[in-house]
């Protein structure tokens, strides 16, 4: 399979996964409240970051993508401890959506959950796609 086609085969599911993560996050917020909505949103935030990693680097292996997605999410969370995202978020709804507002230690765990789930799904899809093509993983 040529590089352009392979990139498209990987990027389309990644883009769909990113869109689904956003839709699921909005649906959870609309249907539930409290800790369920918050922590599901944290995990789904990392799923979105994971999808963006795969969009940028379609050949990335699932474990590496999960580490990068969790790392980015952790960096954003730790940056919240500075107070800057909260201040900037008061001026911009987009900044608030991307950077959040306040540091919350349990969020770090839920980012790992999101990265792990996205990585597991990526691994299954990647393995089944390679098996169907008759190649090695």
Q: Residue 85 has what pLDDT?
A: 94
Report CA-CA distances (Å) from 48 to 4, 24, 77, 81, 136: 23, 11, 15, 22, 27
pLDDT value of residue 67: 98
The pTM for the full model equals: 0.87
Task: Kindly state the greatest CA–CA separation across the chain.
Answer: 53
Segment 7-40, tens digit of pLDDT: 678 899 999 999 999 999 999 989 998 999 999 9
| Model pLDDT, residue 135 | 60
| pLDDT score, position 10 | 84
CA dihedral 84, 88, 90, 92 (to 10 degrees): -150
Give the per-residue pLDDT at 70: 98
Residue 2: predicted pLDDT: 54
Measured CA to CA, the distance from residue 80 to residue 61 in angstroms comes to 29
Listed as ranges, residues in the chain with pLDDT below 70 are 1-7, 130-137
């Amino acid at each position: 399979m040529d590089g352009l086609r392979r990139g498209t085969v990987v990027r389309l599911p990644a883009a769909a996964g990113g869109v689904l993560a956003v839709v699921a996050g909005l649906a959870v917020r609309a249907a539930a409240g409290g800790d369920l909505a918050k922590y599901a949103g944290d995990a789904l935030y990392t799923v979105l970051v994971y999808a963006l990693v795969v969009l940028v680097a379609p050949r990335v292996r699932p474990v590496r993508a999960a580490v990068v997605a969790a790392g980015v999410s952790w960096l954003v969370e730790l940056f919240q401890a500075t107070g800057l995202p909260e201040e900037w978020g008061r001026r911009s709804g987009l900044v608030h959506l991307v950077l959040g507002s306040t540091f919350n230690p349990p969020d770090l765990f839920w980012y790992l959950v999101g990265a792990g789930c996205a990585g597991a799904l990526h691994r299954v899809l990647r393995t089944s796609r390679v098996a169907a093509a008759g190649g090695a993983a």
